[in-house]
Amino acid sequence: MGITRRQFLRWTGVSALGAVVFNGCRIPEEELQIESPVNLPEDLVTGIDNWYATSCRQEPGCGVIIRVVEGRAKKVEGNPDFPVNRGKHSARSEAGLQTLYHPDRLQTPMFRADRNDDFLPISWDRAREILNAGMNSLSDRSRFLLVTEPLRGHLALLTSEFVQALGGRHMAFQSLEQINLHRAVKEVFGQDRLPDFDIENANYLFSFGADFLSTWLSPVRYAGGYGEFRQGDRKRGTHYQMDSRFSMTAANADKWVPVKPGGEGVLAMSMAYVIIRDGMGNADAAAALTDGQGPQALNAFAPDSAMVRDATGLDSGKIEDLAHSFADEGHQPSLAIGGGTAGAHRSGLFNLKAIYALNLLVDNIGKKGGVRFNPAPPLPELSREDVASVGMPASYREWQELAGSGSVDVLMVRGANPVYGLPPGADFARVVNEANFVIAFSSFMDETAGMANLVLPEYTYLEEWGDNVPSPGPSYQTLGIQQPVVRPFHEGTSSFGDELLTLGRELDLRLESRLEVTPDATMKDLIKAGVEKLWPENRGSVTAASFEGFWNGVLQRGGWWDTQATGDSGVAEIKPLDTAWDGSGLGDPGSGMFSLVPFLSNSIGDGQLAHLPWLQASPDPITTVVWHTWVEINSKVAEDMGIAEGDILEVSSGAGTLEAPAFPHPGVPPTTVSIPIGQGHTGMGRYAEGIGDYNYNTLSLLESTTDKDTGALAWAATKVRVKKADHGHSIDIPKFAGNQFAEEPHKGTIIKVTGPS
Amino acid sequence: MVQNRIDHKWGMVIDIDRCTGCNACVVACQAENNIPLNTEDRFRQRRAIQWIHIERYWEGEFPDVKARFIPILCQHCENAPCEPVCPVYATYHNNQGLNVQVYNRCVGTRYCANNCPYQVRFFNFWEPVWPESLRNQLNPDVSIRSRGIMEKCSFNVQRLRRAERIVEGQQGGRISDEDLSMGNFLPACVQSCSTSALVFGDFNDPNSKVSRMKEEHLHEGGRGYKLLDFLGTEPNVIYLSKVDPYATDAGDGHA
């Protein structure tokens, strides 16, 4: 006799709590019966474990289930029901437990009037008094700035209302912002939201610079599709990766096509030229993209032109092959995606627009194996323009302007670390220093919190209420719910949302009436009120006769989604391709110089997760390096320069200089060097701060080049000079390779390869 | 406890054409099995503990370069070279197909690790330490191994025992693939694998996915193979080869 998930959860203790019985609500057999332990002391029954569904903030968009034993969280797994990640999760999600139980978590509010003094611990009552006084010290409320990570869902709604009611400003911070991607999606597809890519059902997948299996947008979702793309119940898909770096994704591709940094868009335009010239693909789209002029509109991008060869580094035969392969009728559905370094140049927006337009030529919009648009979030207030803007990161140009403006008197920062994450050209430390009063909501003493007056320790996401509107979504309406799975581990912590509501009351902002909740509402009440509006619609994954039943069902499944509520099925109006290519600043870096291709770490991301030991100890897929930064350089180039692994290199750009050990390997294009982002912290606790011998912040090398249209940071556009450091030091880079050495005696027998048949 | 235990032959099929090398399995294993924190020094001393790990092999030179990934874990051999060399019977083969390590018996000779051709046994050279607060995460179902003890992949025997207790003990019947996934009894690495490269199940159950995959792939000309098969260890882990339509130098991987 088989067991069902329903039974599984009964055994694992929910029925012992007597918490949840379903009557009259239509719940599928594979239902998760999950309810928060808050107010349920029976949860502490010895030897019984409970699984609770919630949302993950370390792998945005994913739904997880957490195993809780005796009031302690023990294990994170993917929520099998959640549409984005379908039961899978990443190492980043797993390490949520180390965020929760981190030994260096902030446990009590701290204050100092003078930012040269040391912090003194204070009570929450005192902290709230100081916070109110600080806010009331504003003579002009427009000189208040709130900086958060890009927010979505009800916290975005609350933040937006708070800032508007106060009359202050909000800026969302993301270190390598996705502005160009959002703009490209808007201009090419006419969509306000990032689309879903159906990798699972694509036949030919062309990825331009997007490290989609590792760090780009929604890697767990894409990897799930990729497994089926490779060996699912279908013909094996073919994946080409056009990338200036040999990333983990490039290593998995059938063909890696090394493109010169910044030339990805020219390659895509050239492919479009060939496709249109040869009459392949969709004729209507071809006409619209060329404004009725046909291929001559794109003559400048003919693959045999010197400009194309210089910009991409590829010969015309190669480009013709790629174009034919992409548009070949027998290869459909084919899919083009682009991001990462491809969008991080002066012409980043141009590049991404050219790449995404390829999808129009093969007419894959809204189709199996193609691009699927996402609908607006289920609640209308969550897709309001002001709420959506809270989720859109500010451009680097805006941060630069902020740094010189002296326009901030009171600064509040939450969930963002711009002091670490902004390159020197947008000196956020200056904004902090010029402000009169600086408040930081944070779970850790990171670089930004370390410069504040008032530090307010936050709950982690496993302890607080929230919600999760995945971006990109799974092509249909989805609202993930984040519920506390354990009681707050430290008494002296609080929820940012609740504190914002409290502060609103103190300042008489009447947020409750704007949000249509009761005057003593908490974040939970706000979310519950939102979910209550969904209940009468009687559609989607959970329906119930009563609201309580509906609410329980939503909590148990980790959210609500409606597979029928999909986005637009096509592009309303195809605009002509932008042909205004500006290649200035590209080209060969010159003797002794290299193009710097920075990248996000597979484990610690942009450095936000550098404080978690599981992730620090997780080997980089390509180099197997752990706990450290490194400089990837081509093996042959390194040999010519007399550089061996571990030799300390001095890498300098117009913005700064750093020293880091060399890691030569055969996958680095000879004119580039690559350095991961995320190390070199001067805060965030024992596992991030001061580790390694030559660990510096890679962002300090980035010059202030921005996209000419959007002002986004062109973070892959910096050129660097590389030489062995004068002191001649060399270190043993900590890495996994060499811990096991099965390879040497058994060369050639470990990985078997099935070649062309 | 369970009366008249049903004999299983737990095993795994690993499709390296699906594996992307993301390391999610590695961290999932560390979370489930109370593996000591691998500090920077541990890696430098080549003594990091990863019951499952990803090996990366290079092929070719720029621009025709390839990196291939393979997850390696205890192969739970039928003829395990680690077993006969243990003077105290700390490692033995149980009737569920598992190569089991009895921590309480281990006296730390390290003979087993030296005799394992797959290098998947790990010795605790130090007492494992966690900061007090991080100990809250430790899995109560898995004992912490002290200094001087050998440890290795157990196929999450704690989850399998719970499955036996619940499915076979309370309900009667035989654990099916569905039971394993519905009850969260799959090994943590398998559960986490986002591309589903790792498949776990019972080779004694002809209906299990692993049995069907073995039938489909493990034959002359098929993609299935066993690691270092020529040693005659008879692993219970079957690999499916990487498919590479552009392979030029099939099978000659190097580190």
pTM listed for this prediction: 0.93
A243 bridge partner residues:
A258
| Residue A639: other Cβ atoms inside 10 A | 12
Would you tell me which residues 51-110 of chain B have a C-beta closer than 8 angstroms to some C-beta of chain A?
Answer: 53-58, 60-63, 65-70, 72
Residue A715, CA distances (Å) to A37, A267, A427, A602 in order: 44, 20, 16, 18
The length of chain A is 757
- The encoded tokens of residue A310 equal 């210089």
In the prediction, which pLDDT does A46 show? 65
Q: How far apart are CA A720 and CA A228, in angstroms?
A: 40
**Chain B contacts of A736, Cβ < 8 Å?**
43, 48, 50, 53
- Angle A264-277/A348-361 helices, nearest 10 degrees? 30
- The reply to whether residue A251 touches residue B197, judged by beta carbons under 8 angstroms, is no
Q: Does A353 touch chain B (CB under 8 A)?
A: no
In the prediction, which pLDDT does A479 show? 97
Residue A708, CA distances (Å) to A17, A350, A714, B27 in order: 59, 10, 9, 41
Residue A631, CA distances (Å) to A723, A741, B150 in order: 11, 24, 36
- The reply to whether residue A742 touches residue B72, judged by beta carbons under 8 angstroms, is yes
Is residue B189 within 8 Å of residue B28, measured between CB atoms?
yes
Would you tell me which residues 208-237 of chain B have a C-beta closer than 8 angstroms to some C-beta of chain A?
Answer: 223, 225, 227-228, 230
- The reply to whether residue B134 touches residue A101, judged by beta carbons under 8 angstroms, is yes
pLDDT digit string, tens, across residues A324-352: 999 999 999 999 999 999 999 999 999 99
Phi, psi of A503 (to 5 degrees): -65, -40
What lies within 8 Å, CB to CB, of A133 at 6+ separation is none
What lies within 8 Å, CB to CB, of A528 at 6+ separation is A551
Q: Does B31 touch chain A (CB under 8 A)?
A: yes
- The reply to whether residue A744 touches residue B255, judged by beta carbons under 8 angstroms, is yes
ipTM of the complex: 0.95
- The encoded tokens of residue A606 equal 């942009």
- Angle A523-534/A547-557 helices, nearest 10 degrees? 110
* Alpha carbon of residue B35 to chain centroid: 14
| Residue B4: other Cβ atoms inside 10 A | 5
Query: A252: distance to nearest CA of chain B, Å?
Result: 6
Average pLDDT over chain A reads 91
Would you tell me which residues 588-627 of chain A have a C-beta closer than 8 angstroms to some C-beta of chain B?
Answer: 602-603, 613-615, 617-619, 621-622, 624, 626-627
Question: Pick from A11, A735, A751: which is nearest to B16 by CB?
Answer: A751
- The reply to whether residue B43 touches residue A91, judged by beta carbons under 8 angstroms, is no
Does B255 have pLDDT greater than 90? no
In A422-493, where does DSSP find H-type helix?
428-434
SS3 content of chain A, % helix, strand, coil (to 5): 30, 20, 50
In the prediction, which pLDDT does A49 show? 86
Where do the DSSP E strands lie in A601-656? 631-634, 648-652
- The reply to whether residue A602 touches residue B225, judged by beta carbons under 8 angstroms, is no
Q: Does B176 touch chain A (CB under 8 A)?
A: yes
Average pLDDT over chain B reads 92
Is residue B201 within 8 Å of residue B234, measured between CB atoms?
no
**Chain A contacts of B138, Cβ < 8 Å?**
74
Residue A79, CA distances (Å) to A58, A63, B181 in order: 15, 5, 12
- The reply to whether residue B56 touches residue A624, judged by beta carbons under 8 angstroms, is yes
Phi, psi of B252 (to 5 degrees): -95, 70
- The encoded tokens of residue B33 equal 């099995």
Is residue A206 within 8 Å of residue A358, measured between CB atoms?
yes
A322's enclosing H/E stretch is helix A316-327
- The reply to whether residue B27 touches residue A89, judged by beta carbons under 8 angstroms, is no
* 3-state secondary structure at position A226: helix
Residue A144, CA distances (Å) to A112, A613, A752 in order: 19, 36, 61
Query: A233: distance to nearest CA of chain B, Å?
Result: 13
- The reply to whether residue A752 touches residue B54, judged by beta carbons under 8 angstroms, is no
Q: How far apart are CA B165 and CA A307, in angstroms?
A: 69
Is residue A101 within 8 Å of residue B139, measured between CB atoms?
no
- The reply to whether residue B239 touches residue A752, judged by beta carbons under 8 angstroms, is yes
Is residue A9 within 8 Å of residue A34, measured between CB atoms?
yes
Q: Which residues of A264-298 are buried (b: 16+ CB within 10 A; e: fewer)?
A: bbbbbbbbbbbbbbeebbbeebbebbbeeeebebb
Burial of A390 (0-12, 13-18, 19+ CB in 10 A): buried
- The reply to whether residue B31 touches residue A94, judged by beta carbons under 8 angstroms, is yes
Q: Does A520 touch chain B (CB under 8 A)?
A: no
Does B219 have pLDDT greater than 90? yes
What lies within 8 Å, CB to CB, of A548 at 6+ separation is none
Half-sphere exposure of B166 (CA within 13 A, CB side): 24
Q: Please give the full DSSP string across A126-195, using - where no structure is assigned.
A: HHHHHHHHHHHT-SSGGGEEEEES---HHHHHHHHHHHHHHT-EEEE--TT--HHHHHHHHHHH--SSPP
Res. B249 pLDDT band, cuts 50 70 90: low
**Chain B contacts of A738, Cβ < 8 Å?**
46
In A653-752, where does DSSP find H-type helix?
none
For β-strands B198-202 and B10-15, DSSP reports them as: antiparallel
Vertex A254, ends A252 and A256: CA angle to 5°? 80
Q: How far apart are CA B28 and CA A391, in angstroms?
A: 30
Q: Please give the full DSSP string across A99-120, using - where no structure is assigned.
A: HHT-TT---S-EE-SSTTSPPE
Q: How far apart are CA A606 and CA B247, in angstroms?
A: 34
Q: How far apart are CA A317 and CA A308, in angstroms?
A: 12
Q: Does B124 touch chain A (CB under 8 A)?
A: no
Nearest in space to A479 (alpha carbons), one of A517, A525, A532, A515? A532
Nearest in space to A578 (alpha carbons), one of A355, A270, A350, A358? A350
* 3-state secondary structure at position A296: helix
In the prediction, which pLDDT does A586 show? 83
Phi, psi of A685 (to 5 degrees): 95, 180
* 3-state secondary structure at position A673: strand
Burial of A535 (0-12, 13-18, 19+ CB in 10 A): buried
Is residue A130 within 8 Å of residue A454, measured between CB atoms?
yes
Residues of chain A with pLDDT under 70: 1-46, 740-748, 757
The length of chain B is 255
Radius of gyration of chain A (CA): 26
3-state secondary structure chain B: CCCCCCCCCEEEEEECCCCCCCCHHHHHHHHHCCCCCCCHHHHHCCCCCCCCEEEEEEECCCCCCEEEEEEECCCCCCCCCCCCCCCCCCEEECCCCCEEECCCCCCCCCHHHHHCCCCCEEECCCCCCCCHHHHHHCCCCCCCCCCCCEEECCCCHHHHHHHHHHHHHHHCCCCCHHHHHHCCCCCHHHHHCCCCCEEEEECCCCCCHHHHHHHHHCCCCCCEECCCHHHCCCCCEEEECEECCCCCCCCCCEC
In the prediction, which pLDDT does A3 show? 43
Helices and strands, counts by H and E, chain A: 24, 26
Q: Which amino acid is at B46?
A: R
- The reply to whether residue B70 touches residue A231, judged by beta carbons under 8 angstroms, is no
In the prediction, which pLDDT does A43 show? 57
A63's enclosing H/E stretch is strand A63-69
Is residue A147 within 8 Å of residue A159, measured between CB atoms?
no
Is residue A657 within 8 Å of residue B70, measured between CB atoms?
no
Average pLDDT over residues B206-235: 94
- The reply to whether residue B62 touches residue A634, judged by beta carbons under 8 angstroms, is yes
